[in-house]
Amino acid sequence: MNASGAQVQENPRSGARVRWVGYQTIVRREFGRIVRIWGQTVVPPAVTASLYFIIFGSLIGRRIGQMDGFDYMQYIAPGLIMMSVITNSFGNVVSSFFGAKFGKHLEELLVSPLPNWLIVLGYVTGGIMRGLLVGTLVTVVALLFTSLPVAHPLLIVASVILTSVVFALGGFFNAIFAKNFEQISWFPTFVLAPLTYLGGVFYSVSLLPGWAERISYANPILYMVNAFRYGFLGTSDVDVTLAIGITMAAAAIMFAIVVTLMNRGTGIRE
């Protein structure tokens, strides 16, 4: 009856199988994009990180001396790695998803039978990949300047992945609402960067005056940076269990919000 439409799609490949293949395809495409435009995706963050290490670590760090009992360079290394993970997970998803919207090739996914939550998962995985790739690169750069102890390896892995999930979802959220390229640089510049710089990347918040320290505890990035730093150095400004809890909750809430927006068609369907 239907000679060319070889397989009738009703049953042969189960929904789960279709989704698994679809997910892999999105991830593969995201990876392909990171590699294709490596000059924009991995080189600049590595260069930026090297500059930070040279300036803050070697030049200024020598004058600062120790922080929490570690060389300043060692103290900021986890913070700088985390900062690059945050910016790159966010940046990957916001530009890839907004690019797909803007270039209309998002329609390739929208007409396919893949559910929205899976599309979100695919892009988030892309964000994690770029975050981890750049994070690893920055770690390598850091190791050229200093040595890093590893106190709690599992915590390092858990906190870096959770953090990149949260910011990949943040990038997705931004891309859903963005109507032009200006609106995808607004959030990173005016929200993400300040929160990151003030999130204990370069200093221990215990050095701040009381009021500034209290305000800092409202900054979620502080918890992520500290959990990660604790994984290396075994020192933290915050309760690490609380930090992981907050990050997990943030990831779950963001995921629910983003999938709901997608299901409503916000920003993607007329």
Give yes or no for a contact between 113 and 157, defined as CB atoms under 8 angstroms apart: no
Q: What are the beta bridge partners of residue 70?
A: 67
Give yes or no for a contact between 65 and 72, defined as CB atoms under 8 angstroms apart: yes
Q: Taking CB under 8 A as the rule, does residue 100 contact another protein? A: yes
Q: Taking CB under 8 A as the rule, does residue 270 contact another protein? A: yes
Q: Taking CB under 8 A as the rule, does residue 25 contact another protein? A: yes
State how far the Cα of 227 lies from the Cα of 156, in Å rounded to an integer. 8
| Residues in 207-266 that interact with another protein by CB under 8 A | 265
User: Which residues, in sequence order, are CB contacts of 36 under 8 Å at separation 6+?
Assistant: none
State how far Cα 165 lies from the chain centre. 6
The continuous run of DSSP H or E covering 21 comes out as helix 15-36
Nearer to another protein, 18 or 161 (CB): 18
Q: Please identify which residue in 19, 151, 204, 208 interacts with another protein, judged by CB under 8 A.
A: 19
Q: Taking CB under 8 A as the rule, does residue 63 contact another protein? A: no
Question: Given the rule CB under 8 A, which of 67-75, 112-120, 152-160, 177-185 is the region that contacts another protein?
Answer: 112-120
Q: Taking CB under 8 A as the rule, does residue 39 contact another protein? A: no
Nearer to another protein, 182 or 270 (CB): 270
For CA atoms 224, 117, 88, 148, give the dihedral sign: positive
Q: Taking CB under 8 A as the rule, does residue 104 contact another protein? A: yes
Q: Please identify which residue in 73, 75, 84, 110 interacts with another protein, judged by CB under 8 A.
A: 110
Q: Taking CB under 8 A as the rule, does residue 28 contact another protein? A: yes
Give yes or no for a contact between 30 and 129, defined as CB atoms under 8 angstroms apart: yes
- Which residues bind to another protein, rule: CB under 8 A? 1-10, 13, 15, 17-22, 24-26, 28-29, 32, 36, 100, 103-105, 107-115, 265, 269-270
